[in-house]
Amino acid sequence: MKINNVQQSIVNPYKANQMKAEQLEQKAKMKTDKLEISSEAKQLSEISSFTVERNERVQQLKEQVQAGNYEVDAEKLASSMLNFYKA
């Protein structure tokens, strides 16, 4: 009777599982994301004068609404809406 090397992986099934676990760990390590923000982007994200002016305007509008003094100029609103949709 002649016996060939049949199903040799059955001899040590733990080694195969260990190899699979190591491969999964290596794949997980490779899939990490990295983000770098340039100095220019950091400067752009800092508070600008436009942001400060806008915050002041929003605060003024809030105060007017709470006091009941805020009125909408209908003609100006309609003109702005037309200009927006024409462009």
> Residue 19: pLDDT above 70?
yes
* Helix/strand/coil for 4: coil
* pLDDT value of position 64: 95
* pLDDT value of position 5: 66
For the chain, which residues make up each domain, given as ranges?
A: 49-86
For 63, phi then psi, to 5°, come to: -65, -40
pLDDT digits (tens, 9 = 90+) for 28-81: 777 777 888 888 888 877 767 678 888 999 999 999 999 999 999 999 999 999
How many CB atoms lie under 10 A from the CB of residue 42?
Answer: 9
* pLDDT value of position 10: 60
Chain position carrying tokens 């599982």: 17
